[in-house]
Amino acid sequence: MTSFDLSLYLVTDRELSKGRSLSYIVEEAVKGGVTMVQLREKDCTTREFYELGMRMKALLSPLSIPLIINDRLDIALAVDADGLHIGQSDMPWQVARRILGKDKILGLSVETMQQAEEANRMDVDYIGISPVFATLTKTDTLQLFGLNGLKEATSLSRHPAVAIGGINLQNAAQVVNSGADGIAVVSAIASVDNPRQAARELKLTIKKEVPNEME
Ligand SMILES: Cc1ncc(COP(=O)(O)OP(=O)(O)O)c(N)n1
Ligand SMILES: Cc1nc(C(=O)O)sc1CCOP(=O)(O)O
Ligand SMILES: [Mg+2]
């Protein structure tokens, strides 16, 4: 499987990118230290999603930054992405795994403690703990995990775990100190004036925290 580093995971949303192109946001974010990118565009035709996917692949592949496609197994295959992220209402993980093959990265959102526990019996490569905090970026979610829920979910999970939902410079340190292997963000990078600087600051914050925790 493609190796991956969940520490600073950018999830895209053109609508929240203040009129700037996806390529600009992603390029700047990568220069700031993003380790993984998920193409998540909800308002998109299939053709447009495919073309964006091809553009992202051309941009990220030479930099060895994994490209993950949200929801769309067909697009992940068509652009030969590094992986797919699915939620509880998306393609069943067994089907996704069978079609993607064992070499691709498969991520799964877990929205409850029970789902985190069930994911231990699934052949997925990481879980997204969704959501940790409230966010306006995605509102069709169940309960918030909060930091205590995040601690419990990361301790019971056998999978690497990325936290998502309402994560920013103010709370990122607490998130990684609660056991997450990384943070996934949309607005904290895509909606700010300087995405490169935002990524750099987030990266510094989480890098600082993980070793401190281990000491
Ligand atoms: C890293 C990560 N975690 C969770 C999600 C949410 O996925 P899902 O529940 O399928 O919701 P949508 O993103 O499809 O609206 C994610 N995309 N990425
Ligand atoms: C894509 C996504 N999934 C979530 C979940 O809880 O499953 S929250 C979310 C959006 C996260 O955006 P922001 O960093 O702006 O809060
Ligand atoms: Mg989904």
CA separation, residue 123 to residues 91, 92, 133, 179 (Å): 14, 11, 27, 21
Q: Is 11 in the pocket of ligand 1 (CB under 6 A)?
A: yes
187 is in an annotated binding site: yes
pTM reported for the whole predicted model: 0.96
Average pLDDT over residues 115-119: 98
Centroid of ligand 2 to alpha carbon of 45 (angstroms): 21
Residues at CB less than 6 angstroms from ligand 2: 11, 40, 109, 130-131, 135, 137-138, 141, 164-167, 185-188
Domain coverage including residue 96 = 8-214
Index of the ligand 2 atom closest to the CA of residue 190: 15
Could you tell me the CATH number of the domain that includes residue 50?
A: 3.20.20.70
120 falls within a domain = yes
Q: Is 105 helix (H, G, I), strand (E, B) or coil?
A: strand
State the total domains in the chain.
1
Helices (H) and strands (E) in the chain, counts: 9, 8
Residue 3 lies in a domain: no
**Does any domain span residue 54?**
yes
Instruction: Classify residue 2: in a domain, yes or no.
Output: no
Q: How far apart are CA 174 and CA 193, in angstroms?
A: 24
Q: Is residue 80 part of a domain?
A: yes
Q: How confident is the model at residue 119 (pLDDT cuts 50, 70, 90)?
A: very high
Q: How confident is the model at residue 209 (pLDDT cuts 50, 70, 90)?
A: low
- Report the candidate in 109, 86, 111 with the shortest Cα–Cα distance to residue 97: 86
Q: Does residue 215 carry a pLDDT above 60?
A: no
Residue nearest to atom 2 of ligand 1 (CA): 128
**How buried is residue 113: exposed, middle or buried, by Cβ count under 10 Å (0-12/13-18/19+)?**
middle
Query: pLDDT for 6-43, tens place per residue?
Result: 999 999 999 999 999 999 999 999 999 999 999 999 99
Residue 25 located in a structural domain: yes
CA of 70 from ligand 3 middle (Å) equals 6
Domain membership flag for residue 38: yes
pLDDT in tens, 45-102: 999 999 999 999 999 999 999 999 999 999 999 999 999 999 999 999 999 999 999 9
